Structure 1
Amino acid sequence: MNGSDMISQLELGKPEKRPEKRVNGIFWIILLNLGIYVADHWFQVRGIKTLYLYHNWPAWFQFVTAAFCHAKWNHLSSNLFFLYIFGKLVEEEEGNFALWLSYIFTGAGANLVSWLVLPRNAVSVGASGAVFGLFAISVLVKMSWDWRKILEVLILGQFVIEKVMEAAQASTGLSGFSSGGYALQSVNHIAHLSGALIGVFLVWLLSRVPSQPPDQEVSTLQRKTVKDP
Protein backbone atom coordinates (compact mmCIF):
# COMPACT_ATOMS: atom_id res chain seq x y z
CA MET A 1 0.00 0.00 0.00
CA ASN A 2 1.55 3.31 -1.05
CA GLY A 3 1.27 6.55 0.88
CA SER A 4 -1.62 8.02 -1.10
CA ASP A 5 -3.73 4.87 -0.68
CA MET A 6 -3.11 4.86 3.05
CA ILE A 7 -4.22 8.49 3.32
CA SER A 8 -7.40 7.67 1.38
CA GLN A 9 -8.17 4.85 3.79
CA LEU A 10 -7.63 7.12 6.80
CA GLU A 11 -9.91 9.76 5.29
CA LEU A 12 -12.65 7.15 4.86
CA GLY A 13 -12.44 6.37 8.56
CA LYS A 14 -12.93 9.97 9.62
CA PRO A 15 -16.44 10.88 10.77
CA GLU A 16 -18.14 13.27 8.41
CA LYS A 17 -18.68 16.74 9.81
CA ARG A 18 -22.36 17.60 10.10
CA PRO A 19 -23.16 20.86 8.36
CA GLU A 20 -23.98 23.62 10.81
CA LYS A 21 -27.68 24.40 10.82
CA ARG A 22 -28.59 28.05 10.52
CA VAL A 23 -31.21 29.20 12.97
CA ASN A 24 -33.43 31.99 11.63
CA GLY A 25 -37.03 31.12 12.38
CA ILE A 26 -36.93 31.70 16.12
CA PHE A 27 -35.53 35.20 15.60
CA TRP A 28 -38.41 36.07 13.26
CA ILE A 29 -40.90 34.79 15.83
CA ILE A 30 -39.24 36.90 18.53
CA LEU A 31 -39.22 39.99 16.28
CA LEU A 32 -42.88 39.45 15.43
CA ASN A 33 -43.81 39.29 19.13
CA LEU A 34 -41.75 42.40 19.84
CA GLY A 35 -43.14 44.29 16.86
CA ILE A 36 -46.76 43.63 17.81
CA TYR A 37 -46.08 44.67 21.42
CA VAL A 38 -44.43 47.94 20.33
CA ALA A 39 -47.23 48.70 17.88
CA ASP A 40 -49.85 47.94 20.55
CA HIS A 41 -48.42 49.57 23.66
CA TRP A 42 -45.99 52.20 22.39
CA PHE A 43 -47.61 53.49 19.20
CA GLN A 44 -51.18 52.62 20.23
CA VAL A 45 -52.04 51.24 16.79
CA ARG A 46 -55.80 50.87 16.88
CA GLY A 47 -56.16 47.66 14.92
CA ILE A 48 -53.75 45.61 17.05
CA LYS A 49 -56.34 44.82 19.73
CA THR A 50 -58.42 43.03 17.10
CA LEU A 51 -55.71 40.36 17.24
CA TYR A 52 -56.63 39.47 20.85
CA LEU A 53 -58.81 36.42 21.44
CA TYR A 54 -62.23 37.63 22.61
CA HIS A 55 -64.03 34.63 24.02
CA ASN A 56 -67.57 35.88 23.53
CA TRP A 57 -67.35 36.18 19.73
CA PRO A 58 -63.89 35.22 18.41
CA ALA A 59 -62.72 35.57 14.85
CA TRP A 60 -61.00 32.49 13.46
CA PHE A 61 -57.61 34.23 13.09
CA GLN A 62 -57.55 35.35 16.72
CA PHE A 63 -56.73 31.83 17.90
CA VAL A 64 -53.38 32.26 16.11
CA THR A 65 -52.72 35.99 16.43
CA ALA A 66 -53.38 36.06 20.19
CA ALA A 67 -50.27 33.89 20.61
CA PHE A 68 -48.20 36.86 19.37
CA CYS A 69 -49.81 39.49 21.62
CA HIS A 70 -48.94 40.38 25.23
CA ALA A 71 -50.55 42.54 27.88
CA LYS A 72 -47.47 43.62 29.84
CA TRP A 73 -43.72 43.78 29.29
CA ASN A 74 -42.95 41.39 32.17
CA HIS A 75 -44.88 38.59 30.52
CA LEU A 76 -43.44 39.32 27.09
CA SER A 77 -39.80 39.41 28.25
CA SER A 78 -40.16 36.11 30.10
CA ASN A 79 -41.81 34.44 27.14
CA LEU A 80 -39.15 35.73 24.74
CA PHE A 81 -36.41 34.27 26.93
CA PHE A 82 -37.95 30.79 26.92
CA LEU A 83 -38.99 31.06 23.28
CA TYR A 84 -35.36 31.63 22.36
CA ILE A 85 -34.12 28.66 24.41
CA PHE A 86 -36.71 26.06 23.42
CA GLY A 87 -37.49 27.43 19.97
CA LYS A 88 -33.80 27.34 19.09
CA LEU A 89 -33.57 23.72 20.30
CA VAL A 90 -36.57 22.70 18.20
CA GLU A 91 -35.31 24.53 15.11
CA GLU A 92 -31.80 23.07 15.40
CA GLU A 93 -33.21 19.57 15.75
CA GLU A 94 -36.20 19.65 13.38
CA GLY A 95 -35.77 22.71 11.15
CA ASN A 96 -37.45 26.04 10.44
CA PHE A 97 -40.76 24.69 9.17
CA ALA A 98 -41.17 22.42 12.19
CA LEU A 99 -40.54 25.38 14.51
CA TRP A 100 -43.26 27.52 12.93
CA LEU A 101 -45.64 24.57 12.80
CA SER A 102 -44.98 23.81 16.48
CA TYR A 103 -45.42 27.42 17.58
CA ILE A 104 -48.64 28.02 15.67
CA PHE A 105 -50.11 24.58 16.38
CA THR A 106 -49.44 24.66 20.15
CA GLY A 107 -50.29 28.36 20.53
CA ALA A 108 -53.57 28.12 18.60
CA GLY A 109 -54.44 24.83 20.29
CA ALA A 110 -53.90 26.31 23.75
CA ASN A 111 -56.09 29.28 22.84
CA LEU A 112 -58.79 26.95 21.52
CA VAL A 113 -58.87 24.99 24.78
CA SER A 114 -58.92 28.25 26.75
CA TRP A 115 -61.88 29.46 24.69
CA LEU A 116 -63.77 26.23 25.37
CA VAL A 117 -63.13 26.28 29.13
CA LEU A 118 -62.89 29.91 30.28
CA PRO A 119 -65.77 32.39 30.76
CA ARG A 120 -67.26 34.18 27.77
CA ASN A 121 -66.13 37.62 28.99
CA ALA A 122 -62.45 36.58 29.04
CA VAL A 123 -59.71 37.74 26.70
CA SER A 124 -56.67 35.59 26.00
CA VAL A 125 -53.26 36.89 24.92
CA GLY A 126 -49.70 35.66 25.24
CA ALA A 127 -47.26 33.07 23.93
CA SER A 128 -47.24 30.99 27.13
CA GLY A 129 -49.13 28.11 25.54
CA ALA A 130 -46.60 27.99 22.70
CA VAL A 131 -43.73 28.26 25.22
CA PHE A 132 -44.95 25.17 27.08
CA GLY A 133 -45.55 23.41 23.78
CA LEU A 134 -42.03 24.12 22.52
CA PHE A 135 -40.63 23.06 25.89
CA ALA A 136 -42.41 19.69 25.66
CA ILE A 137 -41.31 19.20 22.05
CA SER A 138 -37.67 20.15 22.73
CA VAL A 139 -37.57 17.66 25.60
CA LEU A 140 -39.18 14.80 23.67
CA VAL A 141 -37.04 15.11 20.55
CA LYS A 142 -33.87 14.91 22.67
CA MET A 143 -35.21 12.60 25.38
CA SER A 144 -33.25 9.54 26.45
CA TRP A 145 -33.35 7.27 29.46
CA ASP A 146 -29.99 8.56 30.67
CA TRP A 147 -30.56 9.54 34.32
CA ARG A 148 -28.56 12.72 33.79
CA LYS A 149 -30.87 13.78 30.96
CA ILE A 150 -33.93 13.04 33.08
CA LEU A 151 -32.53 15.07 35.99
CA GLU A 152 -31.73 17.92 33.59
CA VAL A 153 -35.31 17.89 32.28
CA LEU A 154 -36.78 17.91 35.79
CA ILE A 155 -34.62 20.82 36.94
CA LEU A 156 -35.21 22.86 33.79
CA GLY A 157 -38.91 22.00 33.70
CA GLN A 158 -39.69 23.19 37.22
CA PHE A 159 -37.74 26.40 36.53
CA VAL A 160 -39.67 27.06 33.33
CA ILE A 161 -43.03 26.48 35.02
CA GLU A 162 -42.13 28.69 37.98
CA LYS A 163 -40.84 31.61 35.91
CA VAL A 164 -43.63 31.58 33.35
CA MET A 165 -46.21 31.48 36.14
CA GLU A 166 -44.51 34.40 37.89
CA ALA A 167 -44.48 36.44 34.70
CA ALA A 168 -48.11 35.63 33.99
CA GLN A 169 -49.07 36.63 37.53
CA ALA A 170 -47.19 39.91 37.11
CA SER A 171 -49.21 40.69 33.99
CA THR A 172 -52.53 40.58 35.84
CA GLY A 173 -54.92 43.09 34.35
CA LEU A 174 -54.52 45.18 31.25
CA SER A 175 -53.87 48.83 31.95
CA GLY A 176 -56.30 51.07 30.14
CA PHE A 177 -58.16 48.16 28.57
CA SER A 178 -61.89 48.41 29.11
CA SER A 179 -64.13 47.41 26.28
CA GLY A 180 -67.52 45.90 26.89
CA GLY A 181 -66.62 44.47 30.27
CA TYR A 182 -63.97 42.07 28.99
CA ALA A 183 -61.62 40.57 31.57
CA LEU A 184 -58.05 39.60 30.76
CA GLN A 185 -57.09 36.26 32.29
CA SER A 186 -54.30 36.80 34.83
CA VAL A 187 -52.77 33.31 34.83
CA ASN A 188 -54.12 31.02 32.16
CA HIS A 189 -53.17 27.62 33.56
CA ILE A 190 -55.43 26.00 30.98
CA ALA A 191 -53.28 27.40 28.15
CA HIS A 192 -50.06 26.29 29.85
CA LEU A 193 -51.17 22.71 30.36
CA SER A 194 -52.93 22.36 27.02
CA GLY A 195 -49.92 23.85 25.16
CA ALA A 196 -47.63 21.23 26.68
CA LEU A 197 -50.07 18.39 25.98
CA ILE A 198 -50.57 19.53 22.39
CA GLY A 199 -46.79 19.59 21.98
CA VAL A 200 -46.64 15.98 23.19
CA PHE A 201 -49.46 15.05 20.81
CA LEU A 202 -47.69 16.77 17.89
CA VAL A 203 -44.47 14.84 18.51
CA TRP A 204 -46.43 11.57 18.77
CA LEU A 205 -48.37 12.35 15.60
CA LEU A 206 -45.25 13.11 13.58
CA SER A 207 -43.53 10.01 14.94
CA ARG A 208 -46.28 7.92 13.32
CA VAL A 209 -45.40 9.28 9.87
CA PRO A 210 -43.12 6.71 8.17
CA SER A 211 -39.71 8.08 7.37
CA GLN A 212 -38.17 7.75 3.93
CA PRO A 213 -35.86 4.75 3.45
CA PRO A 214 -32.18 5.60 3.73
CA ASP A 215 -30.25 6.12 0.55
CA GLN A 216 -28.75 2.82 -0.54
CA GLU A 217 -26.25 4.30 -2.96
CA VAL A 218 -22.61 3.92 -2.05
CA SER A 219 -20.57 7.11 -2.10
CA THR A 220 -17.74 7.48 -4.55
CA LEU A 221 -15.21 7.45 -1.74
CA GLN A 222 -16.47 4.11 -0.51
CA ARG A 223 -16.16 2.66 -3.98
CA LYS A 224 -12.41 3.15 -3.99
CA THR A 225 -10.45 -0.04 -3.86
CA VAL A 226 -7.16 -0.51 -2.03
CA LYS A 227 -4.28 -1.15 -4.36
CA ASP A 228 -1.75 -3.81 -3.48
CA PRO A 229 1.72 -2.44 -2.77
Structure 2
Amino acid sequence: MFVRTESFSQFLRYYPIISLIVLIHIALFAVSALPIFPQLWVYEQLAGVNVFIKEGEWWRLITPIFVHMGFAHLLFNSFSLVLFGPPLEKHLGKAKFLALYLASGVFANIITYLIKPLTYSHVGASGAIFGLFGFYIAMIVLKNHFITRESRQIILPIVIIGVVMTFMQSGINITAHIFGLIAGFVIGWISGRK
Protein backbone atom coordinates (compact mmCIF):
# COMPACT_ATOMS: atom_id res chain seq x y z
CA MET A 1 0.00 0.00 0.00
CA PHE A 2 2.81 2.41 0.91
CA VAL A 3 5.48 0.98 -1.40
CA ARG A 4 5.92 3.05 -4.55
CA THR A 5 6.68 0.94 -7.63
CA GLU A 6 5.46 3.35 -10.32
CA SER A 7 7.81 5.09 -12.70
CA PHE A 8 7.96 8.88 -12.46
CA SER A 9 5.61 9.32 -15.44
CA GLN A 10 3.17 6.72 -14.05
CA PHE A 11 3.16 8.45 -10.66
CA LEU A 12 2.30 11.78 -12.34
CA ARG A 13 -0.52 10.13 -14.28
CA TYR A 14 -1.97 8.07 -11.40
CA TYR A 15 -1.67 10.75 -8.69
CA PRO A 16 -2.07 14.17 -10.32
CA ILE A 17 -3.18 15.98 -7.14
CA ILE A 18 -0.21 14.81 -5.10
CA SER A 19 2.09 15.62 -8.01
CA LEU A 20 0.63 19.12 -8.30
CA ILE A 21 0.95 19.79 -4.55
CA VAL A 22 4.60 18.66 -4.52
CA LEU A 23 5.26 20.79 -7.62
CA ILE A 24 3.82 23.83 -5.80
CA HIS A 25 6.03 23.04 -2.77
CA ILE A 26 9.13 22.88 -4.97
CA ALA A 27 8.20 25.93 -7.06
CA LEU A 28 7.64 28.14 -4.01
CA PHE A 29 10.86 26.90 -2.44
CA ALA A 30 12.75 27.57 -5.69
CA VAL A 31 11.27 31.07 -6.02
CA SER A 32 12.37 31.83 -2.48
CA ALA A 33 15.94 30.97 -3.53
CA LEU A 34 15.98 33.25 -6.59
CA PRO A 35 18.24 36.28 -6.19
CA ILE A 36 15.62 38.58 -7.78
CA PHE A 37 13.48 38.27 -4.64
CA PRO A 38 14.48 39.19 -1.11
CA GLN A 39 15.42 35.97 0.72
CA LEU A 40 12.25 35.76 2.83
CA TRP A 41 9.83 37.26 0.29
CA VAL A 42 7.76 34.07 -0.19
CA TYR A 43 7.61 33.55 3.56
CA GLU A 44 6.60 37.17 4.20
CA GLN A 45 3.81 37.03 1.60
CA LEU A 46 2.38 33.57 2.27
CA ALA A 47 3.17 32.48 5.86
CA GLY A 48 0.41 32.12 8.41
CA VAL A 49 1.08 35.27 10.41
CA ASN A 50 -1.73 35.65 12.94
CA VAL A 51 -1.64 39.43 13.13
CA PHE A 52 -1.99 39.70 9.34
CA ILE A 53 -4.84 37.18 9.35
CA LYS A 54 -6.59 39.31 11.94
CA GLU A 55 -6.12 42.31 9.63
CA GLY A 56 -8.01 40.48 6.86
CA GLU A 57 -5.33 38.52 4.98
CA TRP A 58 -7.42 35.33 5.06
CA TRP A 59 -5.42 33.63 2.29
CA ARG A 60 -2.81 33.03 5.00
CA LEU A 61 -5.04 30.24 6.32
CA ILE A 62 -4.39 28.35 3.05
CA THR A 63 -1.01 29.40 1.69
CA PRO A 64 1.16 28.19 4.61
CA ILE A 65 0.25 24.63 3.61
CA PHE A 66 2.46 25.02 0.52
CA VAL A 67 5.40 26.99 1.96
CA HIS A 68 8.42 25.44 3.69
CA MET A 69 11.40 26.92 5.50
CA GLY A 70 14.52 25.00 4.63
CA PHE A 71 15.22 22.08 2.34
CA ALA A 72 14.80 19.45 5.08
CA HIS A 73 11.30 20.78 5.88
CA LEU A 74 10.35 20.70 2.19
CA LEU A 75 11.81 17.22 1.71
CA PHE A 76 10.18 15.67 4.78
CA ASN A 77 6.67 16.97 4.06
CA SER A 78 6.82 16.27 0.32
CA PHE A 79 8.21 12.76 0.94
CA SER A 80 5.45 12.08 3.49
CA LEU A 81 2.82 13.17 0.96
CA VAL A 82 4.32 11.01 -1.81
CA LEU A 83 4.52 8.01 0.50
CA PHE A 84 1.18 8.18 2.33
CA GLY A 85 -1.03 10.14 -0.08
CA PRO A 86 -1.38 7.80 -3.09
CA PRO A 87 -3.63 5.15 -1.48
CA LEU A 88 -6.00 7.91 -0.39
CA GLU A 89 -5.98 9.75 -3.74
CA LYS A 90 -6.73 6.42 -5.42
CA HIS A 91 -9.47 5.49 -2.90
CA LEU A 92 -11.15 8.90 -2.61
CA GLY A 93 -10.62 10.26 -6.10
CA LYS A 94 -8.93 13.54 -6.99
CA ALA A 95 -11.57 15.99 -5.73
CA LYS A 96 -12.25 14.29 -2.39
CA PHE A 97 -8.56 13.76 -1.73
CA LEU A 98 -7.84 17.43 -2.37
CA ALA A 99 -10.79 18.38 -0.14
CA LEU A 100 -9.45 16.15 2.68
CA TYR A 101 -5.94 17.58 2.35
CA LEU A 102 -6.98 21.22 2.23
CA ALA A 103 -9.71 20.91 4.86
CA SER A 104 -7.27 19.31 7.32
CA GLY A 105 -4.59 21.92 6.65
CA VAL A 106 -6.96 24.89 6.77
CA PHE A 107 -8.66 23.64 9.93
CA ALA A 108 -5.24 23.23 11.57
CA ASN A 109 -4.36 26.80 10.53
CA ILE A 110 -7.67 28.21 11.79
CA ILE A 111 -7.14 26.62 15.20
CA THR A 112 -3.55 27.88 15.18
CA TYR A 113 -4.90 31.37 14.54
CA LEU A 114 -7.46 31.05 17.34
CA ILE A 115 -5.10 29.56 19.95
CA LYS A 116 -1.68 31.06 19.28
CA PRO A 117 -0.71 34.69 20.00
CA LEU A 118 -1.01 37.35 17.30
CA THR A 119 2.77 37.38 16.93
CA TYR A 120 2.82 33.69 15.94
CA SER A 121 3.78 32.72 12.38
CA HIS A 122 4.06 29.31 10.71
CA VAL A 123 4.49 27.48 7.43
CA GLY A 124 4.38 23.87 6.29
CA ALA A 125 2.12 21.07 5.13
CA SER A 126 2.25 19.16 8.41
CA GLY A 127 -1.34 19.92 9.43
CA ALA A 128 -2.58 18.56 6.09
CA ILE A 129 -0.22 15.54 6.28
CA PHE A 130 -1.46 14.76 9.79
CA GLY A 131 -4.97 15.02 8.35
CA LEU A 132 -4.11 12.09 6.07
CA PHE A 133 -2.89 10.17 9.12
CA GLY A 134 -6.13 10.96 10.93
CA PHE A 135 -8.12 9.68 7.97
CA TYR A 136 -6.15 6.41 8.03
CA ILE A 137 -6.83 6.00 11.76
CA ALA A 138 -10.57 6.48 11.15
CA MET A 139 -10.47 3.87 8.39
CA ILE A 140 -8.64 1.43 10.68
CA VAL A 141 -11.33 1.90 13.33
CA LEU A 142 -14.33 1.77 10.99
CA LYS A 143 -13.27 -0.23 7.95
CA ASN A 144 -10.63 -2.70 8.97
CA HIS A 145 -10.62 -4.19 5.46
CA PHE A 146 -9.56 -0.83 3.94
CA ILE A 147 -6.01 -1.26 5.23
CA THR A 148 -4.14 -4.56 5.26
CA ARG A 149 -2.60 -5.83 8.48
CA GLU A 150 0.88 -5.08 7.12
CA SER A 151 -0.09 -1.51 6.23
CA ARG A 152 -1.63 -1.02 9.68
CA GLN A 153 1.69 -2.12 11.16
CA ILE A 154 3.34 0.68 9.19
CA ILE A 155 0.86 3.53 9.62
CA LEU A 156 0.05 3.14 13.34
CA PRO A 157 3.68 3.39 14.56
CA ILE A 158 4.34 6.28 12.18
CA VAL A 159 1.34 8.20 13.54
CA ILE A 160 2.38 7.47 17.13
CA ILE A 161 5.99 8.49 16.43
CA GLY A 162 4.78 11.60 14.60
CA VAL A 163 2.62 12.68 17.54
CA VAL A 164 5.39 11.98 20.07
CA MET A 165 7.98 13.84 17.98
CA THR A 166 5.57 16.78 17.73
CA PHE A 167 6.08 17.38 21.44
CA MET A 168 9.80 16.65 21.50
CA GLN A 169 11.12 19.01 18.82
CA SER A 170 11.35 22.77 19.02
CA GLY A 171 9.85 24.97 16.34
CA ILE A 172 6.96 22.59 15.63
CA ASN A 173 3.42 23.91 15.33
CA ILE A 174 1.94 21.45 17.82
CA THR A 175 -1.52 22.92 17.31
CA ALA A 176 -1.44 22.28 13.55
CA HIS A 177 -0.25 18.71 13.96
CA ILE A 178 -2.86 17.75 16.54
CA PHE A 179 -5.80 19.55 14.96
CA GLY A 180 -4.86 18.40 11.46
CA LEU A 181 -4.93 14.84 12.83
CA ILE A 182 -8.32 15.49 14.45
CA ALA A 183 -9.74 17.03 11.27
CA GLY A 184 -8.61 14.08 9.15
CA PHE A 185 -10.03 11.62 11.68
CA VAL A 186 -13.42 13.39 11.76
CA ILE A 187 -13.56 13.53 7.94
CA GLY A 188 -12.61 9.85 7.79
CA TRP A 189 -15.18 8.97 10.45
CA ILE A 190 -17.96 10.78 8.58
CA SER A 191 -16.85 9.26 5.28
CA GLY A 192 -16.53 5.77 6.74
CA ARG A 193 -19.97 5.84 8.34
CA LYS A 194 -21.72 6.28 4.98
Matched, 1:101 2:86: no
| 1:63-84, Cα deviation, whole Å (9 max, x unpaired) | 0011101111111111111111
Q: What whole-Å deviation, never above 9, does each CA across 1:143-176 have from its counterpart, x for those lacking one?
A: 518866654433232344467778x74xxxxxxx
Q: Alignment partner for residue 179 of structure 2, among 170, 177, 194?
A: 194
Structure 1 length normalisation: TM-score?
0.66
Q: What SS does the aligned partner of 1:56 have?
A: helix
Q: 1:111 and 1:156 mapped to 2: Cα distance?
A: 22
Q: 1 CA distance for matches of 2:88 and 2:35?
A: 33
Q: Aligned residue for 1:74? A: 72
Q: What's the Cα RMSD here?
A: 2.7
User: Which of 40, 46, 51 is equivalent to 1:51?
Assistant: 46
Structure 1's 202 and 92: CA in aligned 2 closer, same or farther, altered over 3 A? same
Cα distance change, pair 116–99 in 1 and its aligned pair in 2 (3 A): same
Contact 1:86–1:134 (8 Å) recurs in 2: yes
The alpha-carbon deviation at position 200 of structure 1 amounts to 1.0
Aligned pair in 2 of structure 1 residues 61, 152: CA closer, same or farther (>3 Å)?
same
1:73 corresponds to which letter in structure 2?
F
Number of the residue aligned with 1:34? 26
Q: Which residue of 1 aligns with 2:15?
A: 23
Contact 1:79–1:164 (Cα < 8 Å) also in 2: no
User: Which segment is superposed worse, 131-140 or 114-123?
Assistant: 131-140
Percent identical: 24
TM-score w.r.t. the length of structure 2 is 0.76
The residue type paired with residue 144 of structure 2 is S
Deviation per CA, 1:119-143: give whole Å up to 9, x if none.
Answer: 1111111101011001221343365
Q: Which has the larger radius of gyration?
A: 1
Paired residue total: 172
Gaps of 5+ in 1: 1-20, 170-185, 211-229
Q: Which has the higher helix share?
A: 2
Query: Secondary structure of the residue that 2:121 maps to in structure 1?
Result: strand
Structure 2: 5+ residue runs without aligned partners? 1-12
Asked if structure 2 preserves the Cα contact closer than 8 Å seen for 1:69 and 1:127, the reply is yes
1:204 corresponds to which residue?
Answer: 189
Q: Give the secondary structure class of the aligned counterpart of 1:70.
A: coil
Does residue 1:155 correspond to 2:157, yes or no?
yes
Judge which range, 191-200 or 98-107, deviates more: 98-107
